[in-house]
Chains A and B, each alone.
Chain A
Amino acid sequence: MVDHLPNLGREQEMLEAMGLSSIDDLFCDIPEGVRRNEPLDLPDPQTEEEILREAQFLLGINVPLNSRPSFLGAGLYSNFVPTMVAMLATRGEFLTAYTPYQPEVSQGMLQALWEFQTMVSELVGLPVSNVSMYDGSTAAAEALTCAIRVHGKKATQPKTVYVSELVPPHRLSVMENYTQGAGIKINKISHDKNGYLDMEAAAKAAGSCAVYVEMPNVMGILDEGLAGLKKVIGQDTALIVGVQPTCLGIIEAPGNWGADIVVGEGQPFGIGPTAGGPIYGLFACSDAYLRQMPGRIVGKTRDSSGKPAFCLTLSTREQHIRRQLATSNICSNETLIALMGAMHMAMLGPQGLADLAVRNAAACESVKRALAPIAGISFVHDASHYNEFAIRIPGTAADCLTHLDEEWDLTGGFDLGEWFDGMDDCLLVCATDQIDGEDIDELASGLASWCKEVGA
């Protein structure tokens, strides 16, 4: 039975008050020709209990990452999220609010988002953050269009941006969709055999509108060269850095080595991988990009009596005011997940962030050490890694993953052949803070057994 309708059974009373006689009268304005005449062909209504039972069954047959040793990352990471986060974020005043258009009754949400902006700003070393993009890929894509708006007029390579060739294809596809309308050309910058950005190739980007690189990159590589990239491309080309934000507990904030815009998947702060969404994209920038940036921004101000207060600001960039002249079409964003991220960051504090980064790096390094002695396995890149790294194995990555899944009950990583040519025999292995010594032993044994099986 439909039980969310307080006026069920009272329709007639309300209709009569209005001088109407039936529900049909309320729909008399729909022309005959477009009326639906058959009832919806959908299942019977269910009760809360029945739906819960079915959800428990359907979601129960999925295999969660933490139900077994799992080494799958590739852009989303299974970090532990403090219990407080979901408990507080689902308070109804947060969960069931909409965009704080009426600041007088939305001070709490606005302040929480302003605090989020502050913590992101501190984390990445840039003065301004918005309150979230949809995900890391749309943040990266809109960073490119933002840079075009800022540098397009003076650039010697107008309407041109350069991105690392190691940007995963799904993220690149989002970038292409977002930039094609503005006629933007995306050039690639190559990497050397160890996965480091080719700085000579990068130098060609000078005079274009933007360069997009990642720290760590998709292969988990911490590329020292990026710290000198801004000097190579110059002041008139935006340096956009995509980050895995937890690494910034040990890695210098990109804003301190020349980044103009920092974007990334905020997900490890605040929420599990959630099958890819809702998560949230980080977007922070220097002052020069502020008026061209997408998304909502909260500012501190004062009320009619001079008391401190908060409100949305710089709205004249946005679609509901500027329509086709807006910097972006973004309206609904991922505010609640950003709030969860803020709660997680606040809980960690500076030292907790450092500890988390060390745990991730330590897990990654421990797996590398455990796999190094296995005959048949080699590291694709001789480099420093955070969270994940690529290995070459005998046979195909797809068959190897099936072996690990079926014989060893573990999720061994990601088949890089799905993303990059010539990597059908490469696995991307990820270790987060959720990986322990036993998990690593299992993976090492499983991979050793695979190598033996295929006779390497």
Chain B
Amino acid sequence: MSDLFAFNGSPSAGYAQPAPLLSADEVSKVIPNSLKRAALPAWPCASEPELVRHYTWLSTRSFGIDTGFYPLGSCTMKHNPRLNERIVLMPGMNDIHPLAPEHHIQGLMAIFYEMQEMLAHCAGMDAVTLQPVAGAQGEFAAMRCIQEYHKQNGEANRNKVIVPDSAHGTNPASATMCGYSIIEIPSGDDGCLDLDALRAVVGKDTAAMMITNPNTLGIFEPEISEAAKIVHNAGGQMYYDGANFNAILGKTSPGLMGFDAVHYNLHKTFSQPHGGGGPGSGPIGVKSHLADFLPAPMVEAIEDDDDGEGAVRFAWFNPSKTIGKVQQWHGNSAAVVRSWAFYRRYGRELEKMSEHAVLNANYLRYRIMNPSSEQAANIHAMPVDGAPAKVVKHEFTLSMSPIKEATGVTGKDIAKRLLDYGYMAPTLYFPMIVPECLMFEPTETESKEAIDAFADDFLAILAEDAEIVTSAPHETPVGRVDEVWAARNLILRHPGNKEK
């Protein structure tokens, strides 16, 4: 165990920096006495070699896509090209101030403009802002736009947002932050939208419906157009949660399905690395009737006729009825630049990305659900589909209820046992409408061999002694972690470096 706070170098040494322009004594004279810090924080006293080893050790106890297969459903854990990291470390990105004059950042603004246009085109939307910095913030920003749109139309009384019970938790949380109350509608037996349930709840108080398609079961909603009609006829707006956009890019679009607003997860579809929990980036696109409300500023291209060469310069502009800002600056600019570098790799062939994401998901599902006779003979119980479907899109769900009934092994046990085999576990117990749910999303960047190996290992686990599985993991740096103990005892920080 490497303890950051146990390093015990001389506290007076510290990290060597150039001399200050004035001495510490002289600086002290201009700092108000009553505000002067009495004791420095008990931070570690470590040298660079010690820290490099500490963080390298920590990295060996972490797991990324680079480590192994990461089929975490709804999170789209695809390969992160290192070119993109190289690009954002350039001073023209890393050392740029968002308040710099426009003529200092024309290259960055060119990329912003191209991304606004590309994202709008791919989703069938009319306008895109890049400001929201996460999917959830995109949801929030778009719902704020919808809220102001209704107000403008004298319909501020529209105060309900409809979400299916299979929706991501951020949907109801984001709408609630806008002040909306939530109506949750149950899915049908097929895991899809129940139009009768929808008809029963729409009305004069409907502000919007929020839905992802394909839904969180990985199934394309067959009646999405009809659902949009029902909501629109009631005067509501249709919001597309873009978490699952990786499934359909180039094949259809939220615009074609009848949506008015959408967020994109650049950290899912466009390979911004997930970084252990962020950063993300959640631009939003809208149809023209919502465009004036988008967060400010956005980038426009202005043709400079002066030189007769049709040169273009880029400028910030504020939409006329903008909701203002949801992040203080211009959003996660470096995530936008990484995603630009990613999309350029595919260009007009972006459709292939979705084709392979869907190919791999269906192939994995097929491999798991069709064991060889030898494999089948040993299995305690096969999982069942979260919802019946001939084909799925980029992800799928399996219920572990049969094996739980047969041997007592739960979905969580299987997830933990997969860690022993060197895999990240699938998404666990979501969507909540599937009992003992595991949700798999292999993404387009896994090879057939990797998927075959995973399927074989998964099937092997279904055949293992229950005791081995319920006590898993066995091969990881620590055994099963006691999350209940953590919540009861709440040790939320180190005591600090008391040697200081």
- Category for how many chain B residues contact A: 35 or more
B98 neighbours in A (Cβ, 8 Å): 76, 273, 275-276
Q: A26 and B471: CB pair below 8 A?
A: no
Min C-beta distance of B170 to chain A, whole Å: 5
A66 neighbours in B (Cβ, 8 Å): 91, 95
Min C-beta distance of A43 to chain B, whole Å: 5
Question: Closest residue of chain A to B484, judged by CB?
Answer: A301
Does A194 sit at the interface, judged by CB under 8 A?
no
B350 neighbours in A (Cβ, 8 Å): 40, 42
Does A99 sit at the interface, judged by CB under 8 A?
yes
Q: A276 and B329: CB pair below 8 A?
A: yes
Q: 8 Å CB contacts to B: which residues of A335-355?
A: 335-337, 339, 343, 345-355
Q: 8 Å CB contacts to B: which residues of A214-272?
A: 222, 224, 227, 248-253, 256, 271-272
Does A394 sit at the interface, judged by CB under 8 A?
no
Q: B37 and A17: CB pair below 8 A?
A: no
A-B contact count (CB 8 A): 697
Partner of B83, one of A48, A64, A132: A48
Does A51 sit at the interface, judged by CB under 8 A?
yes
- A62–B95 Cα distance when bound, in Å, is 10
**Contact indicator per residue, chain B 42-58, by CB within 8 Å of chain A (1) or not (0):** 11111010011011111
Q: B22 and A366: CB pair below 8 A?
A: yes
A174 neighbours in B (Cβ, 8 Å): 324-328
Q: A60 and B107: CB pair below 8 A?
A: yes
Partner of B21, one of A7, A108, A362: A362
Q: 8 Å CB contacts to B: which residues of A365-409?
A: 365-366, 384-385, 401, 405
B481 neighbours in A (Cβ, 8 Å): 103-104, 301-304, 309-311
Q: A276 and B333: CB pair below 8 A?
A: yes
Contact A86:B256 (CB < 8 A) given known A76-B329, A272-B94: no
Q: A35 and B326: CB pair below 8 A?
A: no
A336 neighbours in B (Cβ, 8 Å): 273, 275-279
Contact A109:B276 (CB < 8 A) given known A7-B447, A135-B327: yes
- A4–B346 Cα distance when bound, in Å, is 9
Q: A134 and B327: CB pair below 8 A?
A: yes
Does B264 sit at the interface, judged by CB under 8 A?
no
Min C-beta distance of B363 to chain A, whole Å: 5
Contact A353:B40 (CB < 8 A) given known A276-B333, A304-B482: yes
Does A203 sit at the interface, judged by CB under 8 A?
no
Question: Closest residue of chain B to A1, judged by CB?
Answer: B349
Interface size on A, residues (CB 8 A): 207
Partner of A102, one of B91, B137, B366, B424: B424
Contact A323:B169 (CB < 8 A) given known A42-B118, A177-B325: yes
Q: B52 and A84: CB pair below 8 A?
A: yes
Does A292 sit at the interface, judged by CB under 8 A?
no
Q: B37 and A29: CB pair below 8 A?
A: no
B376 neighbours in A (Cβ, 8 Å): none
A321 neighbours in B (Cβ, 8 Å): 169
Does A15 sit at the interface, judged by CB under 8 A?
yes
Q: A275 and B330: CB pair below 8 A?
A: yes
Contact A324:B347 (CB < 8 A) given known A93-B64, A301-B481: no
- A336–B9 Cα distance when bound, in Å, is 27
Q: Which of A150-158, A204-212, A312-320, A446-454 contacts B (4 or more CB under 8 A)?
A: A312-320
Partner of A271, one of B23, B54, B94, B341: B94
11 other A-B residue contacts (CB within 8 Å) besides A23-B355, A62-B93, A304-B481 = A10-B448, A29-B389, A42-B343, A84-B51, A107-B62, A115-B494, A182-B177, A298-B492, A311-B486, A332-B282, A346-B46
Q: Which 3 A-B pairs have the closest CB atoms?
A: A276-B329, A336-B275, A92-B66
> Can you list 19 A-B contacts (CB < 8 A)?
A26-B358, A30-B220, A30-B248, A39-B250, A45-B344, A63-B104, A97-B65, A97-B275, A138-B326, A224-B32, A275-B333, A314-B487, A323-B173, A329-B137, A330-B136, A347-B46, A355-B20, A359-B17, A365-B21
